[in-house]
A and B are shown apart, each in its own frame.
Chain A
Amino acid sequence: MTNQEALTDYVLRLGDSALILGQRLCEWCGRAPAVEEEMALMNVGLDLIGQARNWMEYAVELQGQGQDADQLAFTRDAHQYRNLLLVEQPNGNYADTCARQYFYDAWHYFTLKALCDSSDARVAEIAAKGLKEVTYHLRRSSEWIKRLGDGTEQSHAKMQAAIDEIWTYTGEAFIADAVDEQMQAAGIGVDLALIHEQWRAHVEATLQEATLTCPDMQAYMQQGSKQGIHTERLGFILAEMQFLQRAYPHSTW
């Protein structure tokens, strides 16, 4: 695989995760438990979709096939998507949404922070732009973990159950494949072992403050998204997200 092919895949992974989580968060529109939460979820979702566009615009330039970012988002099928399994998991109850968001935000924050030093100038500038926004995302989701974990007996139980439920989807991000290794060697991508260290420290400190039990870091972890193998959840997301372009190809408004 050439560096350019590996970089295209690497950039798509970042963009796809942001896009799918953005789409997931928007499912809360009109259903959030409080108006402030509704605005926060939509704001975070919008930030992520904007970041996804930045990554995808770069990906189509690298591919050089004359596509645009919309075509990438709306005409690829599930096996062509490279988002983490974590972000395609359902919204569940509010604790489930908060757990998914927190584990993603912590990974996202340290990843973008490291990518600010990427040897690829475009990657570095997209990361630097996103990092400012993701800093706020991480702050908010950390606060919710603590508030629910160290809240009532019921909120504590639900938060703990949410963390235990989603845990096996959190490890995949740190398992390097050939693309990750090639990008790290080229100075473009991040050192996943280092990101894992930082993520683990943040998670342990946050869960401890939230009076929650941290699950086993050595537990079996689901994986496959880097090769396009997803849970069945992704198909349902795409069916809704891509409906218009599938039913009325090339329509614009």
Chain B
Amino acid sequence: MAQAHDNAPDHPVHYQVPELTDSLEASLRSADLITTDRGRTLDFHGRRPSLDEVWALLAQVADPEVPVVSVVDLGIVRELVWAKEVLQVYITPTYSGCPATELIESEIKLALMQAGIAQVSMHQRISPAWTTDWITAQGRAKLKAYGIAPPEGSASKAALFGQVQEVTCPHCNSQNTQRISDFGSTACKSLYKCNACLEPFEYFKCI
């Protein structure tokens, strides 16, 4: 039966990822798109890290399909709990059919184990359903720097049912943009075109 989720935090992130500086942005732009373990620096061998330290580590685990953002930026990691020596990790998949869900799970587990946390227990939690409202401000800034327009506004019913707000072009910031298709290269994105700079771009749709 369903678990009680009364204790689920409203917002998962009490760890703040660093400010998006010019140099960070430059390094993101030149980021290797394949490697998901770049820049992991934390090591907990021989001790039990605090939850803050674990959040910091997971903030370095890239999403496999949009590697510019981390699984923490996307709000996929919902809760971390120490149960004695076992780290319990609660994650919420983005879309029901997202083919990356299993990969994300194993990437998280791998990162934790590589950092020295031997016992990890992964749990999927589908309620409350994942929403783009959980993408952090840092995550939105990184998406935009990468050329993907971040979701606009909050996942209200109006946004879902077609009264789409203006989508800002991530390249030239014009609001004179046009939807090409509701469905893009991954379930989470739509295709847009900018009428000002004429560049096509992807929009991380609001759900």
Contacts and interface: CB of A to CB of B under 8 A. Distances in A.
B97 A48 contact: yes
A246 interface: no
A202 interface: no
Interface in A113-147: 121-122, 124-126, 128-130, 132-133, 135-136, 139-140
Interface stretch (A35-43, A160-168, A208-216): A35-43
- Count chain A CB atoms within 10 A of each CB in B95, B180, B205, B207 and give the residue with the most: B95
B127 A128 contact: yes
Contacts of A51: 96-97
B12 interface: no
B126 interface: yes
Interface string B163-193: 0000000000000000011111101000100
B160 A135 contact: yes
A49 interface: yes
- By secondary structure, the B interface counts as loop
B96 to A, nearest CB: 3
Interface residues of B, number: 27
A39 B184 CA distance: 6
Most B CB contacts (10 A, CB to CB) among A48, A132, A139 go to A132
Chain A interface secondary structure, helix, strand, loop or mixed?
Answer: helix
Nearest to A45: B97
Contacts of A54: 96, 126
B183 A50 contact: no
A46 B97 contact: yes
Given A50-B96, A132-B207, A133-B95, A125 B126 contact: yes
A109 to B, nearest CB: 10
A191 interface: no
Interface of B: 1-2, 95-99, 126-131, 155, 160-162, 180-185, 187, 191, 205, 207
